[in-house]
Amino acid sequence: MTTISQLNMIDVSKLDPVFFCGHRASGGGMYMGVFDFHPELLVFPHECKFFQLFYPLAEIKKLKPEEKINQIINFNLKFLKSGFFDVCKADKSYFDFEKFIEKFKYEARKKDDWKNYLRAIFQAYAETTPQKLDNLKYYIERTSSTEIYASEIFKKIPNAKFIHNIRDPRDNYASMKSRWEKKLKHLSDSDSIEALKQTCIMRGRLGIDMGIVNQKIWGKDKYIFTKYDEMVSNTDKEIEKISKFLNINPKNFDKKPTFCGLDWPGNNFDNKDFKTISKSQSGSWKKRITDEEAALMEFHFKDVFEFFDYNLYFSDKERADAAREHYKWLNYSSKWKADFSLSTKAKW
């Protein structure tokens, strides 16, 4: 009998990598679900967070090789395990996670280099997944904010491609806010709603600005943008664009989000169970956040709205008022507040 492991003997180093990026809560999980099991794509089904929880953190902390391997297992790969067994209720016969970890360790020990550690994750996944791999062209990794490291990635992996997801900043913030109570308030950069606004402004803007520059540097044959709002409202057109960029068959997309072939309900925090692509969350910011919050996003992302053809809703005065009120928190109450106790000692 031919086993899955015998069928899935593939060298992923011969595949071109695709890095899917963009700000958190911008719809990346839906894209991975749609890409999943396309015969030309090997998709790591959960956000890998490689360029967040491993690189460059492991180098900054000067971890030894075995510490780096454990870092990936204990932090990055736990999300894959949770997706399989907590959400999708898979069993070992479908995906042998212990086997996956052992294969990863074996591959990771070949070279102390972040490119090899990333390859090791996908090599181990390729040898464990039940997906048929006969026609693969790419493997796809997703980390929010990978765009920040694009130049380093292209330097080490010249054949890489980037797909950068953009979402209406008001909806993006609304999605983040929906996750705040259960998840994001436990993170140091978003321990209050005001802090959540600030991280959306700081990290969201940095990512978009970096993406625009990346496309200018590397060109549209290496780096493209996709809009979540277009994906959910005009799915066929957006899939056609992505397929042309990757030179793959658009007819092989199922359009039903899955997780390594398993039914995937999505990762929204509004208790909605999505079985297919849904546009219900696009443009829903009017019901999910306050006018002041939406105006604040418009103030800080105004040129982004214009660049990506999003419509502005509030007046200049309303946007300025929202920015001023948020600044009061930033300058007087946040961890970034000015230290006015030293003002009398300042030399003018």
Please check whether residue 342 lies inside any domain of the structure. Answer: no
Which of 167-176, 245-254, 328-337 is least confident? Answer: 328-337
Residue 160 belongs to what domain range? 4-335
Whether the full predicted model's pTM is greater than 0.75, yes or no, is yes
Tell me what pLDDT residue 185 has: 84
Tell me what pLDDT residue 9 has: 75
Please check whether residue 252 lies inside any domain of the structure. Answer: yes
Higher pLDDT, 124 or 264: 124
Q: Say what angle helices 316-332 and 291-300 make with each other, to 10 degrees.
A: 90
pLDDT band at 264 (very low <50, low <70, confident <90, very high): confident
> Are 26 and 167 within 8 A, CB to CB?
yes
Please check whether residue 172 lies inside any domain of the structure. Answer: yes
Report the phi/psi class of residue 271: left, alpha or beta, with left for phi > 0 and alpha for psi in -120 to 50: left
Tell me what pLDDT residue 240 has: 98
Tell me what pLDDT residue 138 has: 98
Please check whether residue 345 lies inside any domain of the structure. Answer: no
The total domain count for the chain is: 1
What's the rounded mean pLDDT across residues 124-136? Answer: 96
Please check whether residue 27 lies inside any domain of the structure. Answer: yes
DSSP H helices, 157-300, are 169-178, 193-218, 228-233, 235-246, 285-288, 291-300
Q: Tens digit of pLDDT for each residue in 276-319?
A: 666 666 778 999 999 999 999 999 999 999 999 999 999 999 99
Which of 68-72, 157-161, 271-275, 303-307 is least confident? Answer: 271-275
Please check whether residue 179 lies inside any domain of the structure. Answer: yes
Tell me what pLDDT residue 331 has: 94
Tell me what pLDDT residue 140 has: 98
């600044």: which residue's tokens? Answer: 327
Average pLDDT of the chain, as a whole number: 91
Tell me what pLDDT residue 299 has: 98
Q: Tens digit of pLDDT for each residue in 1-56?
A: 334 444 457 899 999 999 999 999 999 999 999 999 999 999 999 899 999 999 99
Distance CA 17, CA 161 (A): 6
Residue 271 has pLDDT above 60, yes or no: no
Higher pLDDT, 70 or 7: 70
Q: Give the CA distances from residue 215 to residues 120, 146, 162, 180, 207, in Å, rounded to whole numbers and listed in that order.
A: 28, 14, 9, 32, 12
Q: Give the CA distances from residue 209 to residues 35, 48, 182, 205, 226, in Å, rounded to whole numbers and listed in that order.
A: 26, 23, 29, 6, 15
Please check whether residue 343 lies inside any domain of the structure. Answer: no
Question: How many other β-carbons are positioned within 10 Å of the β-carbon of residue 282?
Answer: 18
> Are 298 and 314 within 8 A, CB to CB?
yes
76 secondary structure, DSSP code: I
Which of 17-21, 161-165, 271-275 is least confident? Answer: 271-275
**Closest alpha carbon to 252 in 160, 134, 142:** 134
Residue 162 tokens, joined? 């980037």
What's the rounded mean pLDDT across residues 320-325? Answer: 98
Please check whether residue 56 lies inside any domain of the structure. Answer: yes
Residue 254 has pLDDT above 90, yes or no: no
Distance CA 151, CA 157 (A): 10
Adjacency order of strands within the sheet including 41-43: 41-43, 138-142, 16-21, 161-166, 223-227
Tell me what pLDDT residue 4 has: 43
**Closest alpha carbon to 231 in 170, 168, 169, 176:** 168
85 secondary structure, DSSP code: I
CATH code for position 233: 3.40.50.300
Distance CA 50, CA 19 (A): 11
